[in-house]
Amino acid sequence: MPLRDINDLEKLKKINAALVSRVERSMDQQGNAFSLFQTTISLENRVRTRTEELHSTLRRLEQSNIDLSAAKENAELANLSKTRFLAAASHDVLQPLNAAHLSVSALAEVQTSDEGKKLVRQVERSLETMEDLLRTLLDISKLDAGVVQPDISDVSLEALFSSLRSDFLPVAEMKGLSLKFRPVHAVVRSDRTLLRRILQNILSNALGYTRSGGVLVGTRHRGDTIRIDVADTGCGIPDDQREAVFEEFHRGTSPANAELDGGGLGLGLAIVRRMASALGHPVTFSSKVGRGTIFHIDVPVGIGAPADAIASVADMERPRGYGLFGTKVLLVENDIE
């Protein structure tokens, strides 16, 4: 074969090889594009399926939230109805206890034996404990139901402290503790009865959880508020009980509490929190285990002469919202037994 023909043949082979390579590359590209297309379709289907599942889950969650909200509202309404019922029925709840007190008093008058008198005293103490528990629970119900509304006025801390000192000094002396009130002539804006009850409960706890030393009550002027401090040298409050102390029926878990708590019900500070919240008086405390506790009550400064500056102790104890103090009542009893 002539050389020229051989060269032409080689050229044709190269051209064919190039064409074959181009065709193969084109086929590969088409195959890749088709594969990519299939993958895209598959991903779209999977995304669509997942989206539908998510929408379905969200709808179920929304319905669950609606059901939970409705159940919560029903529970709150039921609790409020129960609370209002207890607040309204307080007299009826306590009436059987009052009758029992009268019966026990009559029994004590006719009982002559020492053993009989001892049993009567035990019954009286049990009735007093039960009455104290019921009254405290009813007080909480009244506060929760909004039955007790604060009657805000100017309150003399000097008169209030004097009244509290008269009430608690015998208790402190009986336990061998000191009870001191720093002199104060300040006037604050508060409900006299509720503020007194707050301090009563805090003082009762302070004396109950103090074995030695005593309790000091004082005040500090802080801008437009006056901070009332009740400091004791008692067992202190552990850090893990700082919130729990304001819960119902909570009593301290210090090893010495059995000697110190005086048989309390664990409701005093629960009432303090509710009353302070109703008055808008922040209540806080600082404490160190083994050294004591200081409770702080922040009360707005008064704007005028205190309406209760010359009020008597009996007047200061008048329970607003709890009775008809000073009202004359005619009682007609048709049960001669």
The pLDDT, as a whole number, for residue 168 is 92
The pLDDT, as a whole number, for residue 161 is 95
* Nearest-angstrom CA–CA distance, 166 and 152: 24
Where is 296: in which H helix or E strand? strand 292-300
* Nearest-angstrom CA–CA distance, 255 and 94: 35
Other beta carbons less than 10 A from residue 198's beta carbon: 28
Largest CA distance in the chain: 156
Estimate to the nearest angstrom the gap between the alpha carbon of 328 and the chain centroid.
38
Contact 175, 168 (CB under 8 A): no
What is 153-316's CATH topology?
Answer: Heat Shock Protein 90 (3.30.565)
Contact 164, 196 (CB under 8 A): yes
Taking the chain (337 residues) in runs of 10, the rounded mean pLDDT of each run is: 61 68 62 66 80 85 85 71 59 73 80 80 79 72 73 93 92 93 92 91 90 93 92 88 74 53 65 89 91 94 59 36 44 48
Taking the domains of the chain in order of start, what are their residue ranges? 90-145, 153-316
The pLDDT, as a whole number, for residue 93 is 66
The pLDDT, as a whole number, for residue 142 is 72
The pLDDT, as a whole number, for residue 318 is 34
Other beta carbons less than 10 A from residue 141's beta carbon: 21
What is the CA angle 226-227-231, rounded to 5?
A: 150
The pLDDT, as a whole number, for residue 325 is 39
* Nearest-angstrom CA–CA distance, 294 and 314: 28
Locate tokens 């001669």: which residue?
336
Amino acid (1-letter code) at residue 255: P
* Nearest-angstrom CA–CA distance, 308 and 314: 12
The pLDDT, as a whole number, for residue 169 is 93
The pLDDT, as a whole number, for residue 217 is 95
